[in-house]
Structure 1
Amino acid sequence: MEAKQLNIGDNVKKFRELKGFTREQMADYLNLSVSAYGNIERNKTDLTVSRIQQIAEILEVDLAQTLNFDASQVFNITHNEVIQGMHSKVENHNHPDEYKEKYIKMMENEIARLKKLAGEA
């Protein structure tokens, strides 16, 4: 039986998009170039636990959520706050419906992708 591959970069990208952060903001928060951050989202970087924890803190999600995207936790994200230790202010989003619509669209795309992979589409 083949081991399940973790797609941490995919999960990070989903949470980043739901939070309304840009790749540039994430790169800045992590003191990385945009290219280096992009490699994280494309699963081309071997991440340390401390780096995953840092990303989880920025995205205000549990470490476990970055390892396994859990849709039931998505709607706990209600707004962006200033990241502890960061000096730049992040735009405040208080629109749960906006997250819901983004999430529904993201899940529809994921279902279509999985159907295509399974040969059902």
Structure 2
Amino acid sequence: MVRHWYVSEHSRKAKPLRQIYEQLRQKVDKQLWQADIQWENISAHDGIVVPKTEKHRLLNLKIQDEHLSPYSKTDMNLFQMHMLNDEVEITVFKAPHGWILMYNGVSEGPQPFGQMGYDTR
């Protein structure tokens, strides 16, 4: 499932995200970039697919800290934010006044586990 997160330039996460985006622009081949997207009323361009070796930098931003911030917007719930891992494909887009992160492969809900499909504790 594809999920999005918009970070405005006024967010606490904007400075580290800007640095990551600029470094990815230098490292990732332009032929691998995605053109542009429209999410809700925000359009973004120059989408850079984050290589597996760099995903930890974006995952370490801990977006769950910003889930109530007026400077960010997402269509993920808090559970999905906590469950992001390096198996999720991440693409970073530059928006007019911030960035959009597109997460592909986010789980919709918790997976059943244990013998009965749930924890018996």
TM-score normalised by length of structure 1: 0.27
Higher share of residues assigned strand: 2
TM-score (norm 2): 0.27
